[in-house]
Structure 1
Amino acid sequence: MKTKELFRKQFSVALLSAIGALFVPAAAGLAPSALAATSVAGLPDFTDLAEKAGPAVVNIRTTERVRSNASGAMTQDEEMQEFFRRFFGAPLPQQPAPRRRQQPNAAPEVEEQVPRGVGSGFIISADGFVMTNAHVIDGADEVYVTLTDKREYKAKIVGADKRTDVAIVKIEGSNLPRLTMGDSDKIRVGEWVVAIGSPFGLDSTVTAGIVSAKARDTGDYLPLIQTDVAVNPGNSGGPLLNMRGEVIGINSQIYSRSGGFMGISFAVPIDEAMRVADQLRTTGKVTRGRIGVQIGEVTKDVAESLGLARAQGALVQRVEPDGPAEKAGLEAGDVILKFNGTQIERSSDLPRIVGATKPGSRSTVTVWRKGAQRDLSVNIVELESDQTAAPQQQNPKAPRSANMLGLVVADLTPTQLRALNIDGGALVEMSEGAAARAGLRAGDIVLRVNNTDVKDSRQFNELVAKLDAKKTTLLLVRRGDSSQFVTVKPLP
């Protein structure tokens, strides 16, 4: 019995030791990892960031002057204008003002300031320069800036640029809190970001989210940052901050079907905004370069047909007559691959790069033409308003039988060639079959078949007759004032 009892005690001690050996060290070893995992999996703390950045974010309210009679009532015309502005976002089309007849007992008209809008902004210098959106101050007669400590200043509009939606206003102050600018080129999809602003007029509101995408193209000069940060009307002009409290963007747009936040918001990259701001502070306006081309995307089919390794660059659809590009030798159908050595990945890259080039300078444009690269030197001029193109004339000749592509073409008259500023081409009189399915229509002008320029209708038909009916044909087609490549695929 004693032997058995002793064995049981020894066995129990050994068993407990074994259990202890299994669980105690494991628990001790896992504790730091578990704590680390909890720390990694938890949400970041934004309190210090908000406390530090908040004082430099301002509320912006704007007013406009309206006329009313002494009783404070607007005239009927002014009431209609105000109705259209508030509910449709645009003024009533301007009509010639009727001649007013003075009524014997009519109250004299007076001018008063009425609220126009509310937005956000942030201080970028201790002496009072404030950055916001151009649309926040658009049409305002007076701009008022309110700090978080309730100090209010009447601001002076320094300048605004509608193309990038960036504006600068100035308040009189010193030693003002300001934000540090970050590097929007270094942001990564998925990183945490914070927005501070005045949604619906609620100032000093902090929201957080992540970067959803970079370089969303919504305009010629706006490669926007997409986030899922809650941004609502009134947030416009406020800063988008990284976790270091640096400004990486200006909250500018939202995607919404209801007018409220729906999970997608856009910010102007601060790198782009600061380039604009520097010009606004210096001259009050933004000067951009241009070369005088109309461009489009290079699709996969077009890239393959032209012999490009991949779809890249900007397709020249139209060259402005007597413009810098034409003088440099650019032609419709060229694909611009580089500008001053900088690769053009998408067509939207080109306007931003050219726009940032100083007018009066010369630049090198690398184009792809007929299977080979060539460098052209172009003079940069200042961007001006677009010109309206003259309507294209039609050739009145009667159609004949369609060729293999389904096109009936005719020659262009010398007058048409001069008006269109082209050396040759074939005018489409009728389109059917494969050509019609590709989108060609009467009035189009075929300038090139694959890599061969078209001189007239006879040569065009000869080129088509030699094509392989089972292969896709690439046509350079002019419609109106622009040119584009069209792939005509054989019918099944």
Structure 2
Amino acid sequence: MREKGRFIVGWTALLLLGVWSLQAAEPGSPGLQDNLMEGISKKVFDSVVKVEARNGFKKVATGVVIDKDGYIVTTGLIWPLNKEIVITTADGKRSEAKFLGMDPETHLALIQAKEKNLTPISLGKTEGLSPGSWIGVISVSPENAAQATQGIVSSVTPERLRLNVWVTRGASGSPVVNKDGQMVALLRGIYSEDQPVLFEFREQEVVGSGYIFNTAEAPSSGMALGIPVEMVRTISAEIKEKGKVSRGWVGIAFSENEDGQVEVNNVEKDSPAELAKIQEGDILVSIDGKKVAGAPMVRSDIRGRKPGQDVKLEILRDGKKVETKVKLGEYPEREARRELEVRFPRLFPAPPTAPAPPAREAVPETPPKPEKAPRPPRVMAERYGTWPGWEKRKYIGVYMESLNKELLEFFGVKEESGLLVNRLTKDGPAEKAGVRVGDVVVRVDGKKVDTVGGLSEVMQDKKKGDKVKLEIIRDKKPLTLEVEISEEEGPSISNFFRAEPYRETWGEVTKELQRQYDRSRKDYEKYSETYRDKMKDLSKELLDQYQESYEKAKGLYEDSKSKGRLRKLLSDRNRVVYRA
């Protein structure tokens, strides 16, 4: 009886082991998924290339070969503007490529390689994909090797796939494949459009201080966006035929207000919107009878149409509904470029601005001015790696910030950029020269200034006592003021990070460290008292100026009728602004 019991227990264990083995062998199991990914990676990687755009600095992305003639789809973030494009294939071959065009809505670009013996990928369909469907992403690693990740589809729409998959830098433009190794989408990038995780330091710099605080953004980790393969086919075919993708355009900037309504913030001059008499402050209610569900929906709807189409817009203006018809224009390339510069400033830095041409004199044959002597090279301090180190900086005593397009128009600035004076150092050089809070600086010594850092660089190239010419806009009228450069002493952070001289023996290193310590201690004893006094004075000055700013802000708030639009524009800066 005991032997029979053992026999039954043994068979039961075998049966349970068999059931467990069958469960482990199901198609969705991790083990088979890894094997599947390995096979697909080998199959697809021959169709994947590394794309590099060079001109002073390098932009790297991934691309996918879609036919035997060397046509490759990739991300529009490599938009070159006279830059050299080079591709690297799976076997390490390098080939020049030509940029053919880009779609401003999806950021899909089409390039063509000179090398024709490339392996095209097999194109599939998004039909059959649903939330939870398995997908893989094949890209190129920084070492030019195959790089594969896998995940699932989060959601599917005709315009985009949301993917739950981890992607790395340089993976934009990679193929998103199904279990058959067919491309079902082109990876656009990480998903951070709607609700980015944001931490922000307000950009505020004392001109000449060298300290800048700006904004940083953390993406939604593990989420990505893909362009459906059907759209890839259509867009690449249109670029191949026309060299571009024609998108509808009305010429408005808009955002969602505090009530969730889509509000027009700005109307482009001579745009279809201006011709249709759309106004700032209008609320978009419906497009061709379709209720507006949000700002992204408006942008997608308008750009999804073709130029020349008539669109009926229902608008809420001053509490009353108004209907207007707009004939769409074509989305201009300059708008697409500006949009990319705003969203990706590190990838699309603004081109350097040339100095304004000198005005022609009425006096004939004016003798040429003597060439300016070259500025002597800066001599670095003798100490290495010590802190606190001190250095002299030039300044004019203004606190400034950059303005967006809407605020430039409000202040009457016709230039493409300008810096708003929002605070002045009391009895500083700028205040003594007549600069006021609310002035907008558009040029310095005849040169355009786009950023506070750019103006700071101009200051540092001057000598104490030199004068700098500021071209400003005040009350929408141009005005020129000359400001004398002043100088102050402050801590040198850059001095702390300077490279250490090479030492051959450990004993020399120890001695050098002791010398550094002694110098630092003497510096501290010498300057700490002066620095503490400076900080006390600065704290008092800031407290006084913030009190003054508070009183001015309070006055602006109470004067709601005349300043209401300015308050609105300032609050709009915290919104996500869309253009269509």
How far apart are 1:354 and its partner, in Å? Answer: 0.8
1:202–1:350 distance in 2 versus 1, CA, 3 Å: same
Counterpart code for 2:563: G
In the other structure, the counterpart of 1:167 is 109
In the other structure, the counterpart of 1:194 is 136
1:295–1:262 distance in 2 versus 1, CA, 3 Å: closer
In the other structure, the counterpart of 1:127 is 69
Residue 243 (1) aligns with residue 234 (2): no
3-state SS of paired residue (2:410): coil
Structure 1 Cα separation of the partners of residues 161 and 29 of structure 2: 29
Counterpart code for 2:44: A
Structure 2 Cα separation of the partners of residues 369 and 291 of structure 1: 18
Q: Number of residues paired by the alignment?
A: 339
Q: State whether residues 185 and 232 of structure 2, in contact with CA within 8 Å, keep that contact through their aligned partners in structure 1.
A: no
Pick from 228, 233, 238 the counterpart of residue 279 of structure 1: 238
Matches within 5 A, 1:194-233: 194-211=136-153, 225=162, 227-233=164-170
Q: State whether residues 193 and 229 of structure 1, in contact with CA within 8 Å, keep that contact through their aligned partners in structure 2.
A: no
How far apart are 1:362 and its partner, in Å? Answer: 0.6
Identity percentage of aligned residues = 20
Counterpart code for 2:564: D
Residue 363 (1) aligns with residue 382 (2): no
Structure 2 Cα separation of the partners of residues 32 and 440 of structure 1: 75
Partner deviation per Cα, 1:192-237 (whole Å, 9 max, x = no partner): 332222221423222333456789xxxxxx978454424124x343
Pick from 132, 147, 158 the counterpart of residue 89 of structure 2: 147
Matches within 5 A, 1:43-62: 43=31, 44=33, 45-62=36-53
In the other structure, the counterpart of 2:563 is 443
Residue 36 (1) aligns with residue 23 (2): yes
1:264–1:340 distance in 2 versus 1, CA, 3 Å: same
How far apart are 1:129 and its partner, in Å? Answer: 0.6
Partner deviation per Cα, 1:349-374 (whole Å, 9 max, x = no partner): 21222122111111233445677877
1:154–1:293 distance in 2 versus 1, CA, 3 Å: closer
3-state SS of paired residue (2:185): strand
The TM-score with structure 1 as length reference comes to: 0.54
How far apart are 1:46 and its partner, in Å? Answer: 0.9
Residue 290 (1) aligns with residue 277 (2): no
Structure 2 Cα separation of the partners of residues 343 and 183 of structure 1: 30
In the other structure, the counterpart of 1:467 is none
Gaps of 5+ in 2: 200-215, 336-404, 413-475, 477-550, 576-580
Q: State whether residues 106 and 227 of structure 2, in contact with CA within 8 Å, keep that contact through their aligned partners in structure 1.
A: no
3-state SS of paired residue (1:231): coil
Pick from 311, 334, 339 the counterpart of residue 287 of structure 2: 339
Structure 2 Cα separation of the partners of residues 143 and 430 of structure 1: 53
Matches within 5 A, 1:373-384: 376-384=324-332
Structure 2 Cα separation of the partners of residues 179 and 38 of structure 1: 29
In the other structure, the counterpart of 2:499 is none
Pick from 156, 161, 177 the counterpart of residue 98 of structure 2: 156
Structure 1 Cα separation of the partners of residues 78 and 269 of structure 2: 38
Q: State whether residues 246 and 331 of structure 2, in contact with CA within 8 Å, keep that contact through their aligned partners in structure 1.
A: yes
Partner deviation per Cα, 1:266-289 (whole Å, 9 max, x = no partner): 445245555543332122223322
Structure 2 Cα separation of the partners of residues 346 and 149 of structure 1: 47
Q: State whether residues 231 and 265 of structure 1, in contact with CA within 8 Å, keep that contact through their aligned partners in structure 2.
A: no
In the other structure, the counterpart of 2:297 is 349
Q: State whether residues 80 and 99 of structure 2, in contact with CA within 8 Å, keep that contact through their aligned partners in structure 1.
A: no
Q: State whether residues 195 and 251 of structure 1, in contact with CA within 8 Å, keep that contact through their aligned partners in structure 2.
A: no
The TM-score with structure 2 as length reference comes to: 0.47
How far apart are 1:122 and its partner, in Å? Answer: 0.8
Larger radius of gyration: 1
Over aligned residue pairs, what C-alpha RMSD do you find?
Answer: 5.0
In the other structure, the counterpart of 2:434 is none
Q: State whether residues 62 and 143 of structure 1, in contact with CA within 8 Å, keep that contact through their aligned partners in structure 2.
A: yes
3-state SS of paired residue (1:200): coil
Partner deviation per Cα, 1:440-491 (whole Å, 9 max, x = no partner): 7961149xxxxxxxxxxxxxxxxxxxxxxxxxxxxxx864898999xxxxxx
Structure 1 Cα separation of the partners of residues 557 and 10 of structure 2: 77
Counterpart code for 2:67: S
Matches within 5 A, 1:456-475: none
Structure 2 Cα separation of the partners of residues 366 and 122 of structure 1: 42
Gaps of 5+ in 1: 1-11, 65-81, 86-115, 216-221, 303-310, 394-418, 420-428, 447-476, 486-492
The more displaced of 196-205 and 328-337 is 328-337
Matches within 5 A, 1:367-446: 367=315, 376-384=324-332, 385=334, 390-391=409-410, 443-445=563-565
Matches within 5 A, 1:39-118: 39=26, 40-43=28-31, 44=33, 45-63=36-54, 85=57, 116=58, 118=60
1:357–1:380 distance in 2 versus 1, CA, 3 Å: same
